[in-house]
Amino acid sequence: MKIRFSAQDERFRQEAADWLADNLRGDFQPIRFRGGPGDEHAFVAERKAWEQCLAEGGWTCIGWPKEWGGRDASIEQQVIFNEEYARAGGPGRVGHIGETLVGPTLLALGSPTQQERYLPGIRAGLELWCQGYSEPSAGSDLGNVRTRAVWDETARKWRLSGQKVWTSLAHESRYVFVIARIDPSSVGHKGLGFFLLDMQQPSVTIRPIPQLTGTSEFNEVFFDEAECSADDIVGEPGDGWRVAMALLGFERGVSTLGQQMLFQTELDEIIRVAQQNGTARDPSIRQRIAEAHIGLRTMRYNSLRMMSSGGDGSLGREAMIYKLYWSSWHRNLGKLAMDILGPDAELIPEGEYGLGRLQSLFLFTRADTIYGGTNQIQRNLIAEQALGMPREPRGQK
């Protein structure tokens, strides 16, 4: 297992750290450590401006090829950048779906027209994207999507009708990528299309879903014959499942060390509160703090192990436990925070207008074990794909 980076990578680290120190200040000072899951409503305009500042500095899409404005950065360098970004307090990225999901998918499977149309806007931090996969009856069972796509021969356009749900940041996004059913007689993974759709048309309605935290980061999205040009289907009509799964496969774990740095900041805050209010003297709390610390170290070594495998940028079996592990760890951290706050956990902190940071943390960590594949689905994947156990029974399609 590689536990150190090369001298060249360390020089790259220094370059990233220097740029962040020089730029993440002044007008951008207030957005440090803000945004991201559970805090997406914070400083949206400023974070959009920051995205463009990153782009001007050449720090968006660093893993993309140089011809598309990237740096051809290796997996290690992308990990390093994410780590330095988190260390500097870089705010939650508003452009991450375009950069990490749409861009790599279009680079691999998009047509030249799609690449030229969409990649520059993502690279410049100007055009934000959201993900239109889940529907009321298609979450874990994604093959059950019912949104329809009908080809209008007269207008030479696709027309999409149906409903998506839990669409994160749809209200801030210009575009959505959608899986929709082209062949009405098809079931499951067959007969689907993968569409790139402009949200700025009257036939798209976005309705925010209020969360327990009091804010709305995700939405219901309704399509009522929304138009999509003939050029905006990725892959062949009917082959949308392959594109949709390829997109999910572009997650390379490059943000893991950065994510752990944010977790460390949260754990440090929890320990500070425990010392302040005396709960740090409680043996069971001390034990749970120690377990949280150990869990975080374990996560780090697993990430380094993930990066050491393959060599060709592909992820090995080690990667399959990561989502289940971090989301369960984070949910437990939220519970620990509430137990340390004690009765104060139920009060709005003095001088605050909304929930305190740890209260929001607790509430949002309940979602961590759901989005990006629930814990139960992760266990199925580990059992079937990593351990080679028999597949669980599936219903007839």
**Where along the sequence are the contacts to ligand FAD (CB under 6 A)?**
130-134, 139-140, 166-168, 218, 367, 370-371, 374, 376-377, 380
Distance CA 314, CA 75 (A): 10
Least separation in angstroms between CB 112 and ligand FAD: 27
Distance CA 130, CA 167 (A): 7
Output 81 or 133, the one with its CB closest to ligand FAD: 133
Output 126 or 381, the one with its CB closest to ligand FAD: 381
Alpha carbon 172 to chain centroid, angstroms: 15
Task: List, by residue number, the catalytic residues.
Answer: 251
Distance CA 10, CA 8 (A): 5
Output 201 or 376, the one with its CB closest to ligand FAD: 376
Could you list the beta-strand ranges (E) of 28-185. Answer: 129-132, 148-152, 157-168, 175-181
Q: Which of 170, 230, 158, 168 is nearest to 200 (CA)?
A: 170
Output 133 or 175, the one with its CB closest to ligand FAD: 133
Give residue number: closest CB to ligand FAD. 139
Least separation in angstroms between CB 364 and ligand FAD: 8
Least separation in angstroms between CB 376 and ligand FAD: 3
Least separation in angstroms between CB 372 and ligand FAD: 7
Output 124 or 370, the one with its CB closest to ligand FAD: 370
Distance CA 256, CA 264 (A): 12
Least separation in angstroms between CB 42 and ligand FAD: 16
Could you list the beta-strand ranges (E) of 230-337. Answer: 233-238
**Are 64 and 103 contacting, i.e. CB atoms less than 8 angstroms apart?**
yes
Cα–Cα distance list, 261 to 37, 82, 272, 299 (Å): 15, 10, 17, 11
- Structure token digits, residue 279: 């709960």
Contacts of 337 (CB under 8 A, 6+ apart): 266, 270, 273, 345, 358, 361, 362
Least separation in angstroms between CB 155 and ligand FAD: 27
Output 143 or 238, the one with its CB closest to ligand FAD: 143
Q: How many CA atoms lie within 13 A of 104 on its CB side?
A: 18
